[in-house]
Amino acid sequence: MHLFLSAGEPSGDLHAANLARHLLAHFPDAKLVGLGGEKMAAAGVHLRYPLTDLAVMWLGKALVRMPDFLRIVRQSEQYFRTEKPDAVVVIDYPGFHFSLAKRAHRAGIPVYYFVPPQLWAWAGWRVSKMRRWVKCVLTALPFEETWYRERGVTTHYIGHPYFDELGQEEPDAAHVAALRAAGTPIVALLPGSRTQEVTSNFPLMVQAAGRIHRAVPGVRFHVAAYRNKHAAQVREALAGSGLPVEVHVRRTAEILEAADAVLAVSGSVGLEMLYRLKPSVIVYRITPAFGLVARQLVTSKYISLVNLLAGREVFPEFPTTRDNPDELAAPIIRWLTSPAAHRATVEELRALRDRVAVPGACERAAAFLAAELRPG
């Protein structure tokens, strides 16, 4: 068995790594190659290029990297034609992966989309690319299966792989205890896993933290930075703020476990906030120009996966083109000053978690692929 796996972002790297481990359990002699990051490599995938190093967003950044993307696509197409893998499995990251899927399809190789992009939210017209180039979409959210099937796309519902990883992850108890040692309220600040997200959102988060600190003087803030580079950005933005903030790298689980409330950039980490039952506010700062475009394109009622799963606003969310720190701070101040309000939100999250946080998605995906691709 020869499979080509591709992930373009940190979360995709994590999902692909877990999928690779389950695939190797089904096919111990499988040859796994592809594009991704360090987690995939550690799981046994031979990386032809560290694609997650190029994770970008916004048109300008993507254009700067375009020659790199085109070169990787051309090299991958050559690999498809000469090495003929049994299948290509792509994870999210639609712009690049639609291009990759097109070339794999032309080479006669079946393509499976594991954790598909949220086309139902902002780019429904792109579903035609799924129909043409993807053999089956392995859907992560309950409503996605119906949405894709109604548009002529073959699907198989497996659930969200994030819950696989969360079920296996044990926060460092000593670190959590150290964070909680002061006995005062803790607010987690999660500025995103992409450099552009940190740049766009963290200064606004600092303003909101200032409002929270004035209303709840004993509060402390802990920042979960994804990379050392992001931690440096965060410290620069905090300079002169006078806020009681500590910055950590790769300590998201511990910070969330210790936190009483969270202010986070929208993303898949919302599922971890749900899993750990943390009342959270979601923000996503965009430029006014992009906001005008988004209003024409976005069809989803919510930007948070948790709210989409709940069908209503459990996490207050603020996609915004302006500075609105008072709006961001208000729900967190309410949770920190009203135990009843905090408890009610936690219980609402618990009911939702019990309904949707079902682990085993990576094994179900691996079993499906094994049945599809097993010889004979």
189 close to 221: Cβ distance less than 8 angstroms: yes
Query: pTM of the prediction?
Result: 0.81
pLDDT at 374: 83
Encode pLDDT of 34-54 as tens digits.
999 999 999 999 999 988 877
8 close to 92: Cβ distance less than 8 angstroms: yes
> 192: closest CA among 225, 153, 238, 166?
225
> 197: closest CA among 9, 5, 2, 4?
9
pLDDT at 295: 57
The span from the CA of 86 to the CA of 1, in Å, is 7
Burial (CB < 10 A; 0-12, 13-18, 19+), residue 236, is exposed
Could you tell me which residues come within 8 angstroms of residue 320 by beta carbon, excluding any fewer than 6 positions away? 204, 283, 284, 285, 286
186 and 38 within one domain:
no
Lookup: tokens for 376: 């004979």
| 113 beta partners | 90, 137
284 and 177 within one domain:
yes
Q: Which long-range contacts (CB under 8 A, 24 or more apart) does 141-148 make?
A: 141/305, 141/308, 141/309, 142/309, 142/356, 143/308, 144/116, 144/120, 147/120, 148/116
26 close to 363: Cβ distance less than 8 angstroms: no
The number of domains in the chain is 2
| 281 beta partners | 263
187 and 148 within one domain:
no
180 and 126 within one domain:
no
Q: Per-residue pLDDT for 200 more than 80?
A: yes
The span from the CA of 197 to the CA of 121, in Å, is 19
190 and 61 within one domain:
no
Distance of CA 78 to the CA centre of its chain: 30
Buried b (16+ CB within 10 A) or exposed e, 271-291: bbbbbbebbbbbbbbbeeeee
Measure Cα distances from 47 to 34, 50, 101 in Å.
Answer: 5, 7, 18
270 and 219 within one domain:
yes
Question: What's 303's domain CATH number?
Answer: 3.40.50.2000
pLDDT at 60: 44
203 and 138 within one domain:
no
75 and 127 within one domain:
yes
Amino acid at 30: A
Buried b (16+ CB within 10 A) or exposed e, 101-124: bbbbbebebbbbbbbbbbbbebee
Encode pLDDT of 278-331 as tens digits.
999 999 987 665 555 555 445 678 889 899 889 899 999 999 988 999 999 999
366 and 296 within one domain:
no
176 and 148 within one domain:
no
Encode pLDDT of 252-265 as tens digits.
999 999 999 999 99
Domain encompassing residue 40: 2-161+360-373
What single-letter DSSP state applies at residue 304?
Answer: -
